[in-house]
Structures are given as structure tokens and as C-alpha cells.
Amino acid sequence: MALFRALFLALLAGAHAELPGCKIRVTSKALELVKQEGLRFLEQELENISIPDLRGREGHFYYNISEVKVTELQLTSSELHFRPEQELTLQITNASLGLRLRRQLLYWFFYDGGYINASAEGVFIRTALELSRDPTGRMKVSNVSCQASVSRIHAAFGGTFKKVYDFLSTFITSGMRFLLNQQICPVLYHAGMVLLNSLLDTVPVRSSVDELVGIDYSLLKDPVASSNLDMDFRGAFFPLAEGNWSLPNQAVEPQLQEEERMVYVAFSEFFFDTAMESYFRAGALRLSLVGDKVPHDLDMLLRASYFGSIVLLSPAVIDSPLKLELRVTAPPRCTIKPSGTTISVTASVTIAMVPPNQPEVQLSSMIMDARLSAKMALRGKVLRTQLDLRRFRIYSNQSALESLAPRQAPPTCRPAMLQIGVMPLLNERTWHGVQIPLPEGIDFVREVVTNHVGFLTIGADLHFAKGLREVIEKNRPANARDVQATSAPPASTPASTAAV
């Protein structure tokens, strides 16, 4: 009975689970590029290690090692990979750190001091970032585990007291190795929990697209790591004036199977339907052109088409400006098939004469059914749509253009109808595009669009338009240094260093 109840609850939860309108997969092929940029960032972070002074006494010799700085990171072997269920793991083995330090030695009344170079060799670092969804729907680094150890330290002591330093080197290098071991993991912990999270804060979650419409890229669940990293986003537009409005997602769930490119993005019909319905609800899918706003070729076409009606009007009206009004009567709908993407639009078209200081004289009121072909393109991290007229039908008992189709139209009619019904309403806005949920400084390149039944996928490679350090410094929290002091785990926790 208990098993049956558990199965029933699981099926019930699955039935009510929200389907994603957008999915993103980061494949293992992206990790080499991410690793190169990440290691540069790691080297710069290790340069910020603050190592306490090392003081000691051996017999009558007093020594002090201070101002220890990491100058470079030299790698022999490094691996970056996804680890089930939610981790991104970096492992560095047999690396070395270049060091510069100040030495001071006092023996009775004799003093020696200066700066020397040293190296930490056999460096091992293993750190894992746990990725999860926070309460706002944003992906975050929720935990950092770390192990780090240094096998040995070599310091090139010289000068008058070289033999004395050689005698003391065991005490000095052992102490330095212990101190260095204690400092690596707190730096990595701060880099993950504070700095990398500041980078993830640049990913749009719920933001405005323009003055009318916003986009919701909230994560629906924690990212899933296997050989790839898969993320499910709500992927829904909404009118800014109705922030709580939502459209039920009854579209096909997008699927990502490919792994050949660095990243894949999938969009369902729901993604595009919410965009068009949001603009419809915001009142953006309407157009009114009067007088000089009517394109010249369209003005000539309409006057010629309605010549019989116009000549019957009074002389005061014949030369009046034309007015064209178009209003989409229902939210357009998107259909995605392997053969292409189409958008269905129904709109009312009203044509009238507008004599000065007199009531309008209506010439025609028509209904237009149009099918538009849509071509998607990804530029940088902006998704753009280029619309083209596939076919349309205009019908009215009064219209001189009854049942007009593009093939039957005069040469000037096709661009005129485009100007009337499509471009001012949809193409102008869709070409501005909408940002894909990627961090600042990372763009898509060499993208390929593939249509499926009910959704489309875009495969692309990644390009760092800005360095990781540049973006993080721009978005670094004002109190980042204070956070480092308070958020770093103590040396005894699992996120600290391994035993020396």
C-alpha cells in the first residue's frame, strides 16, 4: 500500500510538473575553453593569497620570512569535467607555484636580509563546485569542496649566510608549506561562492525585453550534470503591465540529444507563442498610418484600387489623406516543423479617407489571414527572427482586393502588403531580438539552426568576448573582501585543505 501511494504521488507530481520552454545543454567540448579561461582566473586569484609571516629561532639564530607572494602558476596536468549529479570538478596535479619572499636573519649583531625567489612544487588541487537553483530561479554555486596540498618548497638562499640558511631551510620550508596549504582552499572557496556567483548574477532571469514585454528565464529545477550540463528554463514572455500573467504550456517539450557542439539551445513553440501573445495583450500589434506615413507606393495602389469609390465622393474629400489601420484580432500562433517555422496571423484592415475637419469616410473594412515564415538566427547571445510573407488572403464584401493572393497581385502589391500587415507589427520588434540566458562576456559563434516537430535547436560554439577577470571585477560585490574573510570555511571543514 505504501509503495502504491508513493508511485501515485510520483505520477501526480510528474503530471503537474511545469514543462520548459527553453533548454540549454553545455557539452564536455566546451570545458576545454572554459578550463583555459578558468585557469587564468585561478592563477590571478592565487596571486592574492595572503600568507602570514613565518618567525622562528634556532639557537642564536632568529629568522623572519615575510611578504610571501605567489607570482605564477605552472601546470603539468589539469582536468575539468562534470560530475553527477550537480558538480563541476577541477583537478590539478603536479603543478608548481612561483613565489617571491623577503628573508631576514639575525645572529647576535649580524643581520642579513633581502628578497629571493622560491617555488612550491608538487601542488595538488581538487575543487568541486555544486550547482543548484536558488529561490529566485537563478543558477548558483551553492557549495565548494576543496582539497589542496604542496609536496615541497625550494628556496634559493644565497649570500654570506647561505650555509646558515641551508641549516635552517628544513624549518623554514616546512613552515612555509604548512602556511601555504592552509591558504589555497579559502581562496578557492571565496572565488566560487562570491566571485563566480557574481558572474552568474549577470545571467538574465526575469528582465524586460523592451518597454512592453519581459522574459522569464527562471530555472525550473537544479541543473543536471552527467557528461553534459543540462538546464531547464521556463522560457516565457509576459506583458510588463501584467507581471503575474502566464500562458499554460501545452507545447511539445524540447529535446536535446546532440553533443557535437559546445552548447545547444532548444526553444519550443510555447516560447514564441508567449512572445506574440504578450505583445498582443500589451496592445503592440496594431498600426495606424495617416497621410505622409502611408508609403508612397501603397498610397498609389490603394487610390487606384478604390478609384471608383473615390470619384463619387465630394471634391473636398477626393484629395484628402488616406488612413490605414491594421489591428491583429487574436494572438498569433507559431508552428515549428522540420520543413520550417510558420506564424499564423489574423488582422482587420480598415482603409478610409481623412478630410480635414470632417468625419472620416470609410472605403473598406477587410480581414487578412497571413502565414509568415520565420528564420531564427543567433548573434552573440541575442536570438533574432527574420519574418517573410509566405501567403495571405484578404476578404471583404466591400474590398476591391477580395481574395487577393501574392501571385495575383500587381508588382507593387507584394511590398505594399508587407508594409501593411507584417513588417511594422512583427518584424520590427522580433529583429531587435531577445537575450539568451548566458553570463556577460560569453557569446555564441558558428551557430546552426535545426527544426524539429514542435521545437527547434541551435547548436553553437562559445567565445569569450571578455575575460573572466574583467567581467568579475566589473560585477564584484562591494564588500567582496569582507565576504572572503567571513565566508571562507575553517581549515578543519571538508572544504579546506588536505592534510600536509
pLDDT digits (tens, 9 = 90+) for 483-496: 444 455 544 343 33
- Higher pLDDT among residues 499 and 18, named by residue: 18
Q: Give bridge partners of residue 364 from the DSSP assignment.
A: 351
Distances (CA, A) of 130 to 81, 192, 263, 358: 12, 9, 20, 70
Query: Which pLDDT value is given to residue 229?
Result: 93
Residues in the chain: 500
**Three cell numbers written together for 318:** 477626393
Asked whether the predicted pLDDT for residue 213 surpasses 90, the reply is yes
- Residue (of 468, 454, 21, 37) closest to 237 by Cα position: 21
Q: Report the Cα 230 to chain-centroid distance in Å.
A: 14
How many CB atoms sit inside 10 A of residue 96's CB? 19
Q: What is the DSSP letter of 357?
A: T
- Higher pLDDT among residues 483 and 279, named by residue: 279
Query: Which pLDDT value is given to residue 104?
Result: 74
Span 94-121, pLDDT tens digits = 988 888 878 777 767 677 777 778 888 8
Asked whether the predicted pLDDT for residue 230 surpasses 90, the reply is yes
Query: Which pLDDT value is given to residue 161?
Result: 59
User: ∠ CA(236), CA(241), CA(246), 5° rounding?
Assistant: 30
Span 15-66, pLDDT tens digits = 457 899 999 999 999 998 888 888 888 888 888 787 887 777 776 677 777 8
Domains, the chain, with CATH or none? 28-203 (3.15.10.10), 207-288+327-351+358-398+407-463 (3.15.20.10)
**Three cell numbers written together for 352:** 478610409
How many CB atoms sit inside 10 A of residue 346's CB? 14
Q: What are phi and psi of 265, to 5 degrees?
A: -125, 135
Reported confidence tier of residue 404, pLDDT bands at 50, 70, 90: very low
- Residue (of 370, 376, 372) closest to 452 by Cα position: 376
Residues near 407 by beta carbon (within 8 Å), at least 6 away in sequence: none
Alpha helices in 153-222 (DSSP H): 162-190, 197-200
Span 309-367, pLDDT tens digits = 666 666 667 777 878 888 888 999 999 999 999 999 888 888 887 888 778 777 777 78
Query: Which pLDDT value is given to residue 488?
Result: 52
Query: Which pLDDT value is given to residue 27?
Result: 93
Asked whether the predicted pLDDT for residue 231 surpasses 60, the reply is yes
Asked whether the predicted pLDDT for residue 12 surpasses 70, the reply is no
Reported confidence tier of residue 160, pLDDT bands at 50, 70, 90: low
Rounded Cα distance between 450 and 459, Å, is: 8
- Residue (of 52, 62, 189, 67) closest to 118 by Cα position: 67
Rounded Cα distance between 237 and 206, Å, is: 9
Distances (CA, A) of 477 to 190, 437, 456: 12, 21, 38
How many CB atoms sit inside 10 A of residue 364's CB? 20
Rounded Cα distance between 397 and 363, Å, is: 12
Q: Using only the alpha carbons of the chain, give its radius of gyration.
A: 33
Rounded Cα distance between 196 and 140, Å, is: 9
User: What mean pLDDT do residues 263-280 have?
Assistant: 94
Residue owning grid cell 628544513: 170
Query: Which pLDDT value is given to residue 425?
Result: 58
Residues near 477 by beta carbon (within 8 Å), at least 6 away in sequence: 194, 198, 483
Rounded Cα distance between 312 and 166, Å, is: 113
Residues near 30 by beta carbon (within 8 Å), at least 6 away in sequence: 262, 263, 461, 462
Q: Report the Cα 304 to chain-centroid distance in Å.
A: 51
Rounded Cα distance between 154 and 165, Å, is: 12
Q: Where are the beta strands (DSSP E) in 329-400?
A: 333-337, 340-353, 361-379, 382-395
> What percent of the chain lies above the pLDDT cut of 90?
28
